[in-house]
Amino acid sequence: MLRVSYCDRSSAAEPWIAGLRAHLPGVTVENWAEGDAPADYAVTWAPPQSFIDQQTRLRALFNVGAGVDKLLRLRLPQGLRVIRLDDAGMGVQMAEYVCHAVSGHFREFAAYEAQARQGEWTQRPARPRSAFTVGVLGLGVLGQQVAAALRHFEFPVLGWSRNARQIDGIRCFAGKAQLAEFLAQCQAVVCLLPLTPDTQGILGRTNLGLLPAGAYVVNVARGEHLVDEDLLALLDSGHLGGATLDVFRTEPLPADHGFWRHPRIRVTPHTSAQTLRAESIAQIAGKILALERGEPVAAMVDLLRGY
């Protein structure tokens, strides 16, 4: 009988197991415990190395998230098929979060909140939207939805990816050679890159310094994309206008971290796009059935590329 092993210590296992069982009648679905029989399929988030080591006959491993950086730090068997979440309800959340952050900065909500605390009624002059260009680093499943949502508000939108892309309404840049030209035009930049050796620290002093004066930074990808002290230095020097940060090098963000109390940084607790259980279970179960029928599935991770 087909066996699915679930291994995610960060959330309650029971609803996941019940959901997978409901979608996969006749399949054994179990919450993994050390020493369990090896499974045909694994559904995991940040599993321990011992989980991987005990899986001797896996047909595929599903990552209960879009980013696979933590998973790829483990020793994985050669040729293992790793499949990550493909939107599964995260795209709309990400678009909503980023539009809130970017339009909140553009419409100067922080200044209005400060005024309101003083009981002050003063309209600030409207800013020209056509002069507020937003750049999206990463034009994948989530980046493209974010870019489209920003276009809906009629911001000029630029995008940057590894391979050249053509997307209606978005001016696309690709590769290291075009990064400086891209950044130099972004009044706001949004990071939606996967964390790989190539993208680690990409939001550091040099690249952040290429942004126009007053630019706004939104990081919703991984904390390791950002060099924390460089962001703080560029905010304090007045080069950058502010930042909304959802992801951090250490999570939860330590209580004494300078980001918490910085007047121009907004912090949220890795919540910009949450894994939605029902959508994720339906997607994963559908893919297990497709793989069993010998059909290809989307969002297969390229282990060499790292995303």
> Rule CB under 6 A: which residues touch ligand OXD?
65-67, 85, 275
Residue 45 phi/psi, 5-degree rounding, is: -135, 125
Check residue 63 for interaction with ligand NDP (CB under 6 A).
Answer: no
Which residue number, 77 or 175, has a Cβ lying nearer to ligand NDP?
175
Asked if 7 and 44 touch (Cβ cutoff 8 Å), the reply is yes
List 43, 45, 186, 222, residue binding ligand NDP (CB under 6 A): 222
Q: Report what 221 binds from ligand OXD, ligand NDP, none; CB cut-off 5-8 Å by kind.
A: ligand NDP
List 102, 141, 183, 215, residue binding ligand NDP (CB under 6 A): 141
Stretch of 1-9, 105-113, 158-166, 208-216 lying at the interface with ligand NDP (CB under 6 A): 158-166
Which residue number, 2 or 300, has a Cβ lying nearer to ligand NDP?
300
Residue carrying the six token digits 């949220």? 268
Of the residues 171, 262, 264, 270, only one is catalytic, namely 270
Q: Report what 193 binds from ligand NDP, ligand OXD, none; CB cut-off 5-8 Å by kind.
A: ligand NDP
**Least distance in angstroms from the C-beta of 125 to ligand OXD:** 38
222 has catalytic annotation: yes
Structure tokens at 21: 């069982």
**Least distance in angstroms from the C-beta of 203 to ligand NDP:** 13
Check residue 135 for interaction with ligand NDP (CB under 6 A).
Answer: no
Stretch of 18-26, 125-133, 154-162, 181-189 lying at the interface with ligand NDP (CB under 6 A): 154-162
127 has catalytic annotation: no
List 122, 163, 166, 250, residue binding ligand NDP (CB under 6 A): 163
Buried/exposed 251-275: b ≥16 CB within 10 Å, e otherwise:
eebeeebebeebeebbeeebebbeb
Catalytic (active-site) positions: 222, 270
